[in-house]
């Protein structure tokens, strides 16, 4: 548009100034040459060429000598080419500078982010050096041991330990743990930080208690914190329930993922306590079964009603001998943090029953291959001589005692 209007304006002014020479080529200075020059400097060659073509329209009503036309065309084109090349070079230089500035800005921002992350990591490391380093797996394992000590009862000591772990793991600053029985007022079991009195009118608490489901600020679309950030509820259906009320988190811990971690740890603790108490039925029939194994098995068996793959059991059978004991000791050292082992001894055989939570057949086959490779590397001959068989048993909705009995009778079933 500029090339068109500037050129037409130049022709109009040239014709008004000199009707006999609209292109002003016979003047002391060819002023209309400035138009394609400026266009080329601003938009490079092609718009300048268009401007030259518009100026050339003057030849339609005012003839110039052929020699003069060729000379004019060559001069205009040469000026446009030179100015266009300079404009292109300048644009490339400017683009390079802008790109360099963007790269520098991005690197500076990344460096700032890395410095911030490093600072947070150092703070967490310093905290871990002062206290015991924790992870989700270590927290769940420690809570499981605490529940085993209390025979499945979630008491004040266990609740306090949970709040301590959540502070180390998820940045919980202020929180309370309550027990609610038969619809009575909540009984405080433990508190962490500067806890205020129980605030039953908080919308998050009310919604969580009414629905018996955990609630957060984000789920209720509440934009201002009144008292609680989230309330986590567990209802075992026996008239007794537990509630965890989070009042404050460290600023960088307030996220959906972090609240989900808190929910998982809280629900696991409550479920494990209930499952541990139910596991006494299994312990009555098989006293050598570890209490943690029975509780986790029952808990996963309950989850099998809600999820398709709650877990799987791998059962290894060996001949009873001193060599088998060495293999079993090796198997116990190779287990993962959440896996549980039960060593069941009969008259002439020994079974190693491995519980793999939330694993499927592929993971169980991989467990067998990995165990076999490790054992053969250390006790190759003992493995070949004493290993009898192994089988996989998915955890399903069947009665717990029936499932366990089928696992223990694996030698009598068809593989």
Report CA Rg, the chain.
Answer: 40
Name residues whose C-beta falls within 8 Å of residue 170's C-beta, 6 or more positions apart in sequence: 249, 253, 258, 261, 262
Task: For the beta carbon of residue 50, count every other beta carbon within 10 angstroms.
Answer: 17
Query: Which segments of the chain belong to CATH 3.30.450.40?
Result: 136-276
Tell me what pLDDT residue 414 has. 38
Say which DSSP state 378 is in: H
Return the SS3 of 229.
coil
2-6: list long-range contacts, CB under 8 Å, 24+ apart: 2/39, 2/42, 2/43, 2/47, 3/39, 3/43, 3/47, 3/48, 3/50, 3/51, 3/54, 4/50, 4/51, 4/54, 6/35, 6/38, 6/39, 6/51
168-215 per-position pLDDT tens digit: 878 888 999 999 887 778 889 999 988 878 888 888 888 888 888 888
Assigned architecture for domain 279-412: 2-Layer Sandwich (3.30)
Tokens of 27: 């003047």
Spatial separation of the C-alpha atoms in residues 325 and 304, rounded to whole Å: 33
Spatial separation of the C-alpha atoms in residues 306 and 303, rounded to whole Å: 5
Spatial separation of the C-alpha atoms in residues 200 and 209, rounded to whole Å: 9
CA-based nearest residue to 258, from 207, 299, 218, 223: 218
Q: How many CA atoms lie within 13 A of 244 on its CB side?
A: 28
Name residues whose C-beta falls within 8 Å of residue 281's C-beta, 6 or more positions apart in sequence: 400, 401
Spatial separation of the C-alpha atoms in residues 52 and 83, rounded to whole Å: 13
Tell me what pLDDT residue 415 has. 35
Query: Which segments of the chain belong to CATH 3.30.70.2880?
Result: 279-412
Q: Are 407 and 315 in contact (CB under 8 A)?
A: yes
Q: Are 359 and 312 in contact (CB under 8 A)?
A: yes
Transcribe 263-328 into DSSP letters: HHHHHHHHHHHHHHHHTHHHHHH-TTS-HHHHHHHHHHHHHTTT-S--EEEEEEEEESSHHHHHHH
Burial of 81 (0-12, 13-18, 19+ CB in 10 A): middle
More confident residue, 144 or 324: 324
Spatial separation of the C-alpha atoms in residues 211 and 28, rounded to whole Å: 93
Tell me what pLDDT residue 177 has. 93
Spatial separation of the C-alpha atoms in residues 29 and 259, rounded to whole Å: 78
231-242 per-position pLDDT tens digit: 999 887 677 889
126-182 per-position pLDDT tens digit: 655 555 556 666 777 777 778 777 877 888 888 998 898 888 878 888 999 999 887
Spatial separation of the C-alpha atoms in residues 205 and 193, rounded to whole Å: 19
Domain 136-276 CATH assignment equals 3.30.450.40: yes
Spatial separation of the C-alpha atoms in residues 276 and 295, rounded to whole Å: 4
Average pLDDT estimate for 332-361: 82
Spatial separation of the C-alpha atoms in residues 276 and 144, rounded to whole Å: 9
Spatial separation of the C-alpha atoms in residues 96 and 114, rounded to whole Å: 26
Spatial separation of the C-alpha atoms in residues 83 and 90, rounded to whole Å: 10
More confident residue, 122 or 393: 393
Spatial separation of the C-alpha atoms in residues 72 and 300, rounded to whole Å: 91
Tell me what pLDDT residue 307 has. 64
In the predicted model, what is the mean pLDDT of the chain? 79
Q: Characterize 150-186 residue by residue with b for buried, 16 or more Cβ atoms within 10 angstroms of its Cβ, and e for exposed.
A: eebebeeebbebbbbbbbbbbbbbbbbbbbbeeeeeb
Q: How confident is the model at residue 222 (pLDDT cuts 50, 70, 90)?
A: low
Tell me what pLDDT residue 127 has. 59
Spatial separation of the C-alpha atoms in residues 371 and 197, rounded to whole Å: 53
pTM over 0.75: no
Residue found by looking up tokens 């797996």 in the block: 137
The H or E element containing residue 230 is: strand 230-235
More confident residue, 49 or 59: 49
More confident residue, 373 or 10: 373
Say which DSSP state 244 is in: E
Q: Are 340 and 292 in contact (CB under 8 A)?
A: yes
Share of the chain above pLDDT 90, in %: 4
Tell me what pLDDT residue 122 has. 67
């Amino acid at each position: 548009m500029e090339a068109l209007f500037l050129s037409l304006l130049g022709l109009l002014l040239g014709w008004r100034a000199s009707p006999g020479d609209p292109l002003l080529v016979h003047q002391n200075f060819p002023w209309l040459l400035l138009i394609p020059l400026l266009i080329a400097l601003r938009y490079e060659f092609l718009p300048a060429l268009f401007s030259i073509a518009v100026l050339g329209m003057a030849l339609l009503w005012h003839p110039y000598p052929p020699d003069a036309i060729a000379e004019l065309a060559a001069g205009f084109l040469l000026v446009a080419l030179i100015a266009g090349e300079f404009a292109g070079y300048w644009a490339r230089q400017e683009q390079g500078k802008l790109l360099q500035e963007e790269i520098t800005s991005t690197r500076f921002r990344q460096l700032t982010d890395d410095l911030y992350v490093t600072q947070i990591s150092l703070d967490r490391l310093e905290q871990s050096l002062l206290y015991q380093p924790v992870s989700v797996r270590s927290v769940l394992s420690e809570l499981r041991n605490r529940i085993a000590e209390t025979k499945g009862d979630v008491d004040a000591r266990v609740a306090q330990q949970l709040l301590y772990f959540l502070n180390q793991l998820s940045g919980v600053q202020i929180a309370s743990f309550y027990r609610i029985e038969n619809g009575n007022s909540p009984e405080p079991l433990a508190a962490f930080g500067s806890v205020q009195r129980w605030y039953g009118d908080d919308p998050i608490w009310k919604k969580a208690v009414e629905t018996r489901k955990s609630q957060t600020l984000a789920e209720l679309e509440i934009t201002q914190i009144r008292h609680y950030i989230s309330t986590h509820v567990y209802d075992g259906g026996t008239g007794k329930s537990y509630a965890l009320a989070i009042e404050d988190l460290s600023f960088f811990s307030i996220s959906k993922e972090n609240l989900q971690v808190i929910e998982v740890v809280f629900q696991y603790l409550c479920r494990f306590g209930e499952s541990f108490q139910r596991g006494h039925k299994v312990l009555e029939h098989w006293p050598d079964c570890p209490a943690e194994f029975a509780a986790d098995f029952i808990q996963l068996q309950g989850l099998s009603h809600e999820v398709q793959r709650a877990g799987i059991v791998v059962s290894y059978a060996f001949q009873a001998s001193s060599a088998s004991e060495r293999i079993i000791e090796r198997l116990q050292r190779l287990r993962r943090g959440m896996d549980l082992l039960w060593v069941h001894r009969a008259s002439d055989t020994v079974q190693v029953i491995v519980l793999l939570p939330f694993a499927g057949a592929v993971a169980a086959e991989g467990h067998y291959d990995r165990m076999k490779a490790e054992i053969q590397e250390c006790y190759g001959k003992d493995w070949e001589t004493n290993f009898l068989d192994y089988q996989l048993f998915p955890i399903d909705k069947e009665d717990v005692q029936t499932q366990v009995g089928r696992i223990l009778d694996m030698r009598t079933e068809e593989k």
